[in-house]
Structures are given as C-alpha cells and as structure tokens.
Amino acid sequence: MSALLLAALMAVLAAPQDPFRAGRAPRRAGGAGEGRATEQAHHGERLVCSDCHTVHNSRGGQPMRFDGVSMPAPVLLREANPTQLCLACHSGSYPLIPDVLGPVSYTADPAGGWFAQGLGLPNAHGHDLSPPSALAAPGSTESFTIECASCHDVHGSSNYRNLLLDPPGSADDGDVRVVVDQIIAPNGANAAQVYTPANLLDRSGMGEFCNSCHDNFHGRSASEEGAQRPWLRHPQEVAIAGAPHADFGHWSGPIVNRVRVETPTDDLVPSVDDRVSCLSCHKAHGSSRPDSLIYADGLRRRSTCQQCHDQ
C-alpha cells in the first residue's frame, strides 16, 4: 500500500463518526475524508445519511432537525420538506457549502447562478422555487412544481452535480447523460474555486437535460429549432467554427467575460470544437436578469450575442 493510500485510509478512519448537531457547521458531505476526493458530494461513498436524515430526531435529548423543531419530519428528514432541507445547508450560512439562494457571496459568479426569491415566491429572473401550484414550462404543454429534487437526485447520480438521469418531463427512453468535467474537484473546503464557470469544461448533454421540461427548445425538427439553417429557434450544439452565420474569427480573438460553450473534444476554449448551449445564455437556477439570462458585459443582453456574431 502506498503512503498516499495509507494516509487516505487513515483520514477516512479518523473522520468523526457522529452526525453533526443542529447549529453546528455541517461538513460531512464535503469532507475530504469522506471517500474518494474525486467523487461528488451526496453520491456513492460521499452520501452521508445523517446529513439529511435522523432516525429518532433526538440526540442527547435535543432535536436533530436543522430548524430545532422537536416533532420529527416525514421520511425522517432533518427539515419539514426536501427543499427546505437542501436550503438548510445551501443558502449561505456556511461559506464552504455552495449557496444557491441570492444574494450569493462565497464566489462572484456561481456557475448555476441563484434563486432570487425564497420558497413560494414568483421569480422573473429564473426558476420559481416551490410555487404554490404547478407552472407551465415554456416550450412544453406540461406543468411542474419546481423543487431542488426536480433536477437533482437527492441520493446522488452518475451525472454532473447529481442531476437526475430521468428528469420529470423526459420521455422514458433511456438516461439523460450530462457530462461536464471539472479542473479542480470539490474537497469540502474549496467551493469558491469549484462552483464557478472558469473551473468547468462543458462536454455534452445539458441541452437535452433542460429540454426534458422545455420540449421544443432543443432538437433538429420543424417544431423545434428547425432542421437546419435558416433556424426557427436559436440552435444548440452547433459549432461556432464553420457556421456561416456565426463569427469564429471574432470568437477566437480577445474576449472579456467569455460565455460558456461546450467543448466536446478538447480542453481548449476558444477552439474549433466550441459549440453554443443553453448555458451560453442562461444560468440554470436563475440570475440577476430576466429569464435567467447572462449579460456578458454585465450591462446589456447584446454583449452575449456579440461574442459569437459581432454584427
């Protein structure tokens, strides 16, 4: 056994076995000692039951729910419902855990953006969290009540960020695979470096993931993007290089605040394999702009368009 392996094993064995109590800074899901460092939180060896469940809601006579309520919650959760449970750790109280509820301060540009409003409040700048009733998804005839678990598998998945392999709204025809590589892997202490666009190499699948609810916004058919140029909706997964109506020369020049693109075959951006995706223009959770849009220069929508079109 190599010294490194031994050290890793010792770290696992030495990790405290007690679940943390309400009021104490949560750390288990991200602890570097919890399984392999390359594994994402809440998945495989890093799925720590006591992060989210409590068996009796009692430890030393005190409740174990994060809100301190002594009545146990359904499904043995440590909060009243699943989305409140996620937000107990992911709403900014702990600087080492990525915050998804605005305002976000742990990093300047969180990859997923943020939910501008709390639970049950309408949000014109992104997805509405826990709306009082299901809302229609643009591009589809279906309606959804958006919760964290509408997109993330609470017990982890093999997808990037534990995204659901079978999101609601997706046709039951096989898994939706979202592949994004990270330059720096999360270790429980480096959230500001990990959950930021500069750390990510988007490969494939995000368009299909979003499309599971926004049916007509992705796909090469007459009712979707159109089969080819001239397009009917903005095309996805089309390479900038070689596209007659995109400007690869401009894209490959010096650009400030370059938007995200998929880079399916190499690790370089800008380069010839770069292709436009939903996350070139939108944040997944929400942003400070209408429709969860990204304004590349921070001021104007067209600054995003101009990076690839330079009209």
Task: Tell me which residues in 213-272 interact with ligand HEC (CB under 6 A).
Answer: 213-214, 217-218, 229-231, 234-236, 238, 240, 243-246, 259, 261
Residues 152 and 196: beta-carbon distance below 8 Å? no
Q: How far apart are CA 202 and CA 260, in angstroms?
A: 8
Largest CA distance in the chain: 69
Q: Residue 85, interface with ligand HEC (CB under 6 A)?
A: yes
- ω before 230 within 30° of 0 (cis)? yes
- With respect to ligand HEC, which residue has the nearer C-beta, 11 or 293? 293
Give least dist CB 62 to ligand HEC, A: 17
Footprint of ligand HEC on residues 4-63 (CB under 6 A)?
26, 29-30, 40-42, 47-49, 51-53
Tokens matching residue 182? 């990270």
Footprint of ligand HEC on residues 195-214 (CB under 6 A)?
195, 200, 207, 209-214
Q: How far apart are CA 18 and CA 184, in angstroms?
A: 29
Q: Which residue has the tokens 């049916």?
A: 215
Tokens matching residue 102? 């605005």
Q: How far apart are CA 240 and CA 242, in angstroms?
A: 6
Q: Residue 155, interface with ligand HEC (CB under 6 A)?
A: yes
Q: Residue 84, interface with ligand HEC (CB under 6 A)?
A: no
Footprint of ligand HEC on residues 97-116 (CB under 6 A)?
97-98, 100, 110-112
Q: Site for ligand HEC (CB under 6 A): which residue of 22, 64, 73, 148? A: 148
Number of residues near ligand HEC (by CB under 6 A): 99
Residues 202 and 262: beta-carbon distance below 8 Å? yes
- With respect to ligand HEC, which residue has the nearer C-beta, 2 or 133? 133
